[in-house]
Structure 1
Amino acid sequence: MKISLFLSVLTVSILGIYSEVNIPAPCKRIECPIYDVIENGKDYQIRRYNSSVWISNPPIRQFSIVTANAIGVTRLFRYIQGNNDNKQKIEMAGPVLSEVIPSDGSFFKYSYIVSFYVPKKNQANPPPAKGLQVQRWKNVYAAVRQFSGFVNDKNVAEQAAALKDSINGTKWLSAIEKSHKASNFSVAQYNSPIELFNRVNEIWLLFEL
């Protein structure tokens, strides 16, 4: 009886620790999109995100994701500080999401759509702003891989390739390939630029079922 009770408590404790690991740490202090974990695979996680609202830049054509993020985040930070049509301030939420889109033959190799997640209390009526767009997502699935440090072109490419390798041979591959080009992916960043340690980033492959 005592052994059975001990094993039950131990199992609950392990599952609790495991679920904590899967939650990006910054989301314990800022609002983030809500999701359910569908599968914990080897070096990847499948999530189902509830419908959500994002405020986005139009595609930014640059040589580097670092430069594109700097441009996009500057515009979006001004937006949440009240530089919008309603002069309304909005709480900072997470993550900053950068969609990486291969070039259509232009001078730049990629373009980037940099977005902020809009907190729930503002999702019904996010204030409009010139040069920015509101994106309303339905429920969507994501294959996710976490990594640490500061985002740069090298580690983003390596982590995206590693996630795609992990998905190969799984039941999720065909759904991902049907949803978008295999070369498309998104980079989620959860930390402020001034946070030097314990940084959390993710590669997302978004898809529908």
Structure 2
Amino acid sequence: MLKTMGQALFSTGLQYPPFTAAEKQGQDYEVRSYHPTKWVSTTVSGMEMDAATSSGFSKLFSYIQGKNQNKAKVEMTAPVTCLVEPGAGPACESQFTVSFFVPQEHQENPPEPSDPDVFVEHRKEFTAYVRTFGGFAKENLKREELLKLVESLKRDGVEHVGEPFYTAGYDSPMKLINRRNEVWILQKVPEK
């Protein structure tokens, strides 16, 4: 418990999902191909990304603390991702799927969640355009960084998916400096 709390608070010694960086990168973004992996996730509907992320994080933190079928403790990992599927209009709820990467030792057989709102997600391989930024990533800052990434992709003539998109946070709220946040836009898959 203390190790997990320490990892969550200070963001040290955490496992990250495996990816391969493309040889050609943008001047202000990375291109990463994430390998197929399992994540533990929960989906929250709402109007505010920050509130949904906080609510989702709490459910997932309970899962790694032993609220699962095996009552197994699971190591904290990074980043905490949030898949944002915007609602149809300005006053419509969006869907936010908050996820923790399942550590390597549990990838083959993750403990089954006991909370009906929590599920194991099997992410297929995907390629993302990634913009990294610092500071405390509140909703407005995430949107600003997302718009900067969209502009960079347009500038470079890069085909990409408009929605959904991901936000990714690597640090606990207790970490005050050298914070790492990201926004991910998915690469458009050519139609067959």
Alignment of 1:142-161 (within 5 A): 142-161=128-147
Change (3 A) 1:137 1:183: closer
Q: Could you list the per-position Cα deviations for residues 30-86 of structure 1 after superposition, in whole angstroms to 9, with x for gaps in the alignment?
A: 10011121122121111111111111102x122321111110000000000000111
Matched, 1:69 2:53: yes
> Could you list the runs of 5+ residues in structure 1 that have no partner in the other structure?
1-25
Give the conservation status (yes or no) of the 8 Å contact 1:189–1:202: yes
> Could you list the runs of 5+ residues in structure 2 that have no partner in the other structure?
1-9
The size of the alignment, in residue pairs, is 177
**Scaled by the length of structure 1, what TM-score is found?**
0.78
Q: Could you list the per-position Cα deviations for residues 108-150 of structure 1 after superposition, in whole angstroms to 9, with x for gaps in the alignment?
A: 4422111111111101111111221111122211100001111
Matched, 1:89 2:92: no
Letter of the 2:170 partner, please give it.
Y
Moved over 6 A (4+): none
**Scaled by the length of structure 2, what TM-score is found?**
0.85
Partner of 1:57: 42
Q: Which has the higher helix share?
A: 1
Partner of 2:150: 164
Aligned equivalents of 1:150 and 1:108: distance in 2?
Answer: 26
Change (3 A) 1:62 1:34: same
Aligned equivalents of 1:77 and 1:28: distance in 2?
Answer: 17
Partner of 2:166: 186
Deviation at 1:105, TM superposition (A): 5.5
State the structure with more CA Rg.
1
Aligned equivalents of 2:26 and 2:61: distance in 1?
Answer: 35
Q: Could you list the per-position Cα deviations for residues 141-197 of structure 1 after superposition, in whole angstroms to 9, with x for gaps in the alignment?
A: 110000111111111111101101111153531xx23xxxx1421000001121111
Aligned equivalents of 1:159 and 1:184: distance in 2?
Answer: 15
The root-mean-square deviation of aligned C-alpha atoms, in Å, is 2.0
Amino-acid identity (%): 33
Letter of the 1:134 partner, please give it.
V
Change (3 A) 1:51 1:28: farther
